[in-house]
Amino acid sequence: MDKIVSLCKRRGFIFQGSEIYGGLANTWDYGPYGVELKNNLKKAWWKTNVQERNDILGMDCAILMHPKVWEASGHVHNFFDMKSDCMNCKKRFKSADLKDDAKCPECGGQLTGARPFNLMFKTYQGPVEESGNEIYLRPETAQGMFVNFANIQDARHPKLPFGMAQIGKSFRNEITPGNFTFRTREFEQMEIEYFVNPKDAERALGEWIDSRFNWYLGLGIKPENLRKRQHGKDELAHYAHACMDVEYNFPFGWAELEGVANRADFDLKQHAQYSSKELQYFDDTTKEKFYPYIIEPSGGVDRAVLAFLIDAYHEEKVKEETRVVLKFNKELCPVKAAVLPLLRNRPEIVELAKNISADLKKSFTAVYDDTGSIGKLYRRQDEVGTLYCVTVDVQTLEDKQVTVRSRDTMLQERISIDQLKQYLINKLS
């Protein structure tokens, strides 16, 4: 994990938040390569789950929602973790993590008994900070979709089964954030709410578990690092009938990447009751009216990015030296090609390399780099997972060919400049 954290900072994937002020604990800023990786991951999710399907509609809902939403959803009354405080060092612990619930694991001081702690962030809307203006930052993106169920019915008339999907920020005032970006208080989620006839819920749950599991494998996670884990009855969230996690083998152990839950008809019923609006589904063939069940695959963007970073990390021995390389698959990889001039003191070579990179940039993510010797530039590109390095040398000026080096095989090929872009596009598709 230390190697990943240090590579992320060194190469510009992820930085500590507010670092020049000593950092704000457990906040992280995505740098130039991190944001490309994260965007590619979100794009891949959107493509599979929205664009390639006929039955899922995309959404982008507000983070701030009517306070009644969180009463109806159960978050005001049920979204708690139990915490214990040390009476000596004042540190706060999640009670479930404690081996001894009487003694502080840090200083040995006496702990208070376990007390409930609501995980929602509270703030005020408008200029007056009074209790009537209290509002929450959403702790999940799901509710935005439930409260739009009737709007979607009216606007698009979808037939069951159908879903809504959304990617966006959520906030939880976690008691013990940590493990780099694994658990933070501000994070991004990718959630699908899939509405089904209750009799089809079990089958849909199984299909979604497989579909989500295979999505991670399809993007390159090694099968031995991915597993499914069924929730025990005592672990289920207040709304869930059943839940299966997709877990990744992180350096700190197996942990949840995504949960796929059967939320039953809890949410629509609650919102119908609290809003006094009709949120049932009318089946015009059977003339039945009922609350659909909801199957929810809910994943974390930041956790997935972290898993893909860890899984891609390789150290290889090359001629007595260690080569660090991030072997992202081609869809996720932040930069597809880097154009490097072999001699940076030759203006014709530099200009040609810049022109080639400008042309490639029109079709995919490419960079130009002339800030080191070729050996150093290759090492740097390997460390960020760049798929192809294109080198412009003296010979290029004569034969109009460049050297293309593959990240994975390290084999080099001479390709004519005219055919370079098409050659790379073929490799990337």
Under a CB-based contact definition with an 8 Å cutoff, are residues 47 and 56 in contact?
no
User: Measured from the CB atom, is 118 or 184 closer to ligand ATP?
Assistant: 184
CA distances from 110 to 27, 107, 203 (A): 30, 9, 49
Interactions with ligand ATP, residue window 157-186 (CB under 6 A): 172, 174, 183-184
Instruction: Pick the stretch among 207-215, 251-259, 272-280, 365-373 that binds ligand ATP (CB under 6 A).
Output: 251-259
SS3 203: helix
User: Measured from the CB atom, is 296 or 369 closer to ligand ATP?
Assistant: 296
Q: Which of 300, 279, 303 is nearest to 139 (CA)?
A: 300
Under a CB-based contact definition with an 8 Å cutoff, are residues 50 and 56 in contact?
yes
* Token code pair at residue 385: 């997972």
Q: Parallel, antiparallel, or unpaired: how do β-strands 281-283 and 293-300 relate?
A: unpaired
Lay out the site mask for ligand ATP across 184-223 (x = CB under 6 A, - = otherwise): x--x-x----------------------------------
Q: Which of 326, 415, 321 is nearest to 10 (CA)?
A: 326
User: Measured from the CB atom, is 254 or 290 closer to ligand ATP?
Assistant: 254
Identify any residues that bridge with 117 across adjacent strands, giving them in sequence order: 81
Q: Which residue is nearest to ligand ATP (CB)?
A: 300
CA atoms within 13 A on the CB side of 357: 24
From the CB of 138, what's the least distance to ligand ATP, in Å? 12
- Of the residues 298, 357, 386, 401, which one makes contact with ligand ATP according to CB under 6 A: 298
- Of the residues 36, 85, 247, 258, which one makes contact with ligand ATP according to CB under 6 A: 258
From the CB of 4, what's the least distance to ligand ATP, in Å? 16
Check binding of 267 to ligand ATP (CB under 6 A): no
Instruction: Name the amino acid, one letter, at 287.
Output: K
User: Measured from the CB atom, is 171 or 368 closer to ligand ATP?
Assistant: 171
Check binding of 300 to ligand ATP (CB under 6 A): yes
User: d(Cα 405, Cα 407) in Å, to the nearest integer?
Assistant: 6
SS3 256: strand
Interactions with ligand ATP, residue window 65-104 (CB under 6 A): none
Q: Which of 41, 63, 34, 38 is nearest to 216 (CA)?
A: 41
Lay out the site mask for ligand ATP across 302-321 (x = CB under 6 A, - = otherwise): xx------------------
From the CB of 255, what's the least distance to ligand ATP, in Å? 7
- Applying CB under 6 A, which residues contact ligand ATP? 172, 174, 183-184, 187, 189, 256-259, 298-300, 302-303
